[in-house]
């Protein structure tokens, strides 16, 4: 990579190493904020034509803010922890003077008058916002594609998706256009894209961070599942830095729903850490490289002194279907209202049909769908949605009982965190994720129970391990096999899930996995040049 704005290869390496190191280098004068911003802008302009990640740009304003940051530093003024660091923001959060479209054509002209609370925190810490990154329509798909800005491609292979809904954010960080970004996670929307793009991301505990930055359309009335903002970066160290800013005390002053739980930085010593792991939830068998990655991560943690044991997974079918039933329990009425007047994106059409279709019709369609070889889809159609408040409360009770069972399993196994697959496949081809919902079942567990979870890239798919999927009549299984074929070289991540409010242990585990992967040379090499 050639960064003309930076005069030496050493400084180029600094820019590519991550937000925390870049902040240190700016602070000690090794590089200026202006040089850092110019380098990121140059990279975006070189790569984004092939990827389409940064869909709203404020480059002129970013240059001005970087110059102002350099002036303040030269004058000896106080510097925040992100002073001069370029960042990007998912098009879910309000940035002053820019629209927050959430993938809706109808919101193109709705300009935010002020930064949202989390964006304020990042900018007050000294970060310089380069622009906003792409999302799916209404943030509700596992691919970032909409009628406003078009489709985001995976920089590792542009014929494949970067994921959703934070797909633009993960993609720009993977190709080196930004060292740090603000994403959001409702059903794996930080962790899925981070895994598919070979970067790292964290979904905090439910209600750790405010949602007041986000327009109400997608989630305003959702109280069963709690979406969470969170950082995406190239290094675990950068996630820790970002969370120290985002989760700093004082959120209750503007959002009384945020519990006053103190943020704790991750410990360096993992000798007392108790780790459980599994590589298959019984619902969707992960690709060979993903199973290998989990085994290697578990072994590396054991070698570094953690107490590691294989555990039984949560019931993959039960947890994933309960998540989906709660997701559409209200028949998506507010969401369908928000999209009225514009075309529903094809990625969302099956979800909308599932939400609106009467149960009797679904039961009639089920056998026919199964006969076409789509057994997984037929099972989804059979999942009954609540039709009364009592039935809705029954779903909430089911979730509470499942969480009690899960924590009892953790207690019996003496486990602090779980290491498991992030997503069951490497990056899928565009337009395929709707038929691969079961592959996302590893992500939705943390959303269903509100637990903190992160992903970290550890390896790549080997040429001799693309697929071992057996022949199947089911169309989804055949599609999964087609995704695996030709996947050699794509990044592979593992996921770490912790107990509520224990992001410190999740991040400590991720940091040790990351260090081992990098020391062994197996970690995907970043930034990637789009191909």
Determine, yes or no, domain membership for 51: yes
Determine, yes or no, domain membership for 530: no
The H or E element that residue 157 is part of is strand 157-161
The pLDDT of residue 391 is above 50 = yes
Residue 235 zone, left/alpha/beta (φ > 0; ψ -120 to 50; rest): beta
Average pLDDT over residues 25-51: 96
**What's the angle, vertex CA 462, arms to CA 488 and CA 430, rounded to 5?**
25
% of the chain with per-residue pLDDT over 90: 84
For the chain, what is the radius of gyration of the CA atoms?
22
pLDDT tens readout for residues 85-142: 999 999 999 999 999 999 999 999 999 999 999 999 999 999 999 999 999 999 999 9
Segments forming the whole domain that contains residue 121:
9-323+389-520
Q: Which residues contact 360 (CB under 8 A, 6 or more apart)?
A: none
Determine, yes or no, domain membership for 368: no
Q: Which residues contact 520 (CB under 8 A, 6 or more apart)?
A: none
Joined together, the tokens standing for residue 454 give: 């992160």
Q: Write the CATH number for 75.
A: 3.90.1300.10
The pLDDT of residue 73 is above 90 = yes
Cα atoms in the 13 Å half-sphere on the side-chain side of 444: 25
Determine, yes or no, domain membership for 292: yes
What integer pLDDT is reported at residue 368 of this predicted model? 72
Joined together, the tokens standing for residue 286 give: 């992960």
Assign 12 a pLDDT band (cuts: 50, 70, 90): low
Nearest-angstrom CA–CA distance, 216 and 335: 10
Joined together, the tokens standing for residue 45 give: 């302009």
Nearest-angstrom CA–CA distance, 467 and 69: 50
What integer pLDDT is reported at residue 3 of this predicted model? 33
Whether the Cβ atoms of residue 484 and residue 465 lie closer than 8 Å to each other: no
User: What is the overall mean pLDDT for the chain?
Assistant: 93
The H or E element that residue 184 is part of is strand 180-185
Nearest-angstrom CA–CA distance, 211 and 108: 21
% of the chain with per-residue pLDDT over 70: 94
Q: Which residues contact 33 (CB under 8 A, 6 or more apart)?
A: 26, 66, 67, 69, 70, 73, 83, 84, 85, 128
**Distances, alpha carbon 395 to alpha carbons 167, 229, 336, 359, in Å:** 30, 25, 22, 16
Whether the Cβ atoms of residue 509 and residue 495 lie closer than 8 Å to each other: no
In total, how many domains does the chain have?
A: 1
Whether the Cβ atoms of residue 155 and residue 54 lie closer than 8 Å to each other: no
pLDDT tens readout for residues 411-439: 999 999 999 999 999 999 999 999 999 99
Catalytic sites, residue numbers: 90, 165, 189
Residue showing tokens 């943030």: 139
Look at strands 180-185 and 86-90 and give their pairing. parallel
Determine, yes or no, domain membership for 198: yes
Residue closest to 29 by CA, chosen among 68, 84, 80, 81: 84
pLDDT tens readout for residues 488-515: 999 999 999 999 999 999 999 999 999 9
Determine, yes or no, domain membership for 253: yes
Residue showing tokens 């947890």: 319
């Amino acid at each position: 990579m050639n960064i003309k704005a930076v005069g030496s290869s050493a400084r180029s390496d600094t820019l590519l190493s991550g937000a925390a190191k870049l902040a240190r280098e700016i602070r000690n004068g090794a590089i200026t904020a202006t040089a850092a911003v110019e380098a990121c802008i140059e990279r975006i302009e070189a790569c984004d034509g092939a990827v389409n990640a940064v869909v709203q740009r404020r480059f002129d304003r970013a240059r001005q803010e970087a110059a102002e940051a350099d002036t303040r530093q030269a004058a000896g003024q106080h510097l925040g922890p992100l002073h001069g660091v370029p960042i990007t923001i998912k098009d879910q959060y309000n940035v002053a003077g820019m629209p927050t479209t959430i993938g809706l054509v109808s919101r193109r002209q709705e300009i935010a008058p002020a930064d949202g609370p989390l964006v304020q925190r990042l900018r007050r810490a000294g970060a310089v916002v380069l622009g906003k990154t792409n999302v799916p329509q209404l943030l509700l798909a596992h691919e970032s594609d909409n009628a406003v800005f078009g489709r985001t491609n995976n920089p590792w292979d542009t014929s494949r998706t970067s994921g959703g809904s934070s797909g633009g954010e993960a993609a720009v960080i993977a190709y080196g256009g930004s060292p740090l970004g603000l994403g959001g996670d409702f059903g794996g929307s930080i962790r899925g894209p981070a895994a598919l793009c070979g970067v790292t991301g964290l979904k905090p505990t439910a209600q750790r961070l405010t949602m007041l930055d986000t327009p109400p359309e997608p989630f305003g009335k959702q109280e069963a599942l709690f979406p969470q903002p969170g950082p995406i970066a190239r290094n675990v160290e950068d996630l820790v830095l970002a969370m120290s800013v985002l989760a700093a005390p004082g959120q209750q002053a503007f959002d009384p729903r945020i519990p006053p739980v103190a943020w704790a930085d991750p410990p360096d010593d993992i000798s007392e850490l108790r780790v459980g792991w599994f590589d298959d939830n019984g619902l969707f068998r992960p690709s060979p490289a993903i199973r290998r990655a989990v085994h290697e991560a578990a072994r590396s943690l054991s070698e570094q002194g953690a107490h590691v044991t294989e555990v039984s997974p949560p019931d993959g079918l039960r947890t994933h279907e309960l998540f989906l039933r709660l997701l559409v329990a209200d028949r998506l009425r507010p969401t369908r209202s928000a999209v009225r007047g514009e075309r529903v994106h094809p990625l969302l059409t099956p979800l909308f049909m599932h939400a609106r279709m009467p149960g009797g019709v679904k039961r009639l369609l089920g056998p026919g769908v199964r006969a076409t070889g789509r057994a997984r889809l037929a099972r989804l159609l059979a999942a009954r949605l609540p039709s009364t408040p009592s039935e809705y409360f029954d779903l909430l009770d089911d979730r509470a009982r499942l969480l009690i069972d899960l924590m009892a399993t953790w207690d019996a196994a003496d486990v602090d965190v779980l290491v498991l697959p992030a997503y069951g496949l490497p990056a899928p081809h565009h337009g395929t994720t709707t038929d691969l919902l079961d592959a996302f079942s590893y992500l939705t567990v943390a959303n269903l129970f509100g637990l903190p979870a992160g992903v970290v890239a550890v390896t790549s798919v080997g040429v001799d391990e693309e697929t071992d999927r057996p022949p199947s009549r089911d169309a989804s299984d055949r599609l999964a096999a087609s995704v695996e074929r030709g996947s050699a070289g794509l990044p592979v991540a593992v996921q770490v899930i912790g107990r509520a409010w224990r992001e410190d242990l999740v991040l400590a585990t991720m940091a040790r996995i990351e260090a081992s992967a990098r020391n062994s040379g197996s970690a995907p090499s970043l930034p990637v040049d789009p191909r």
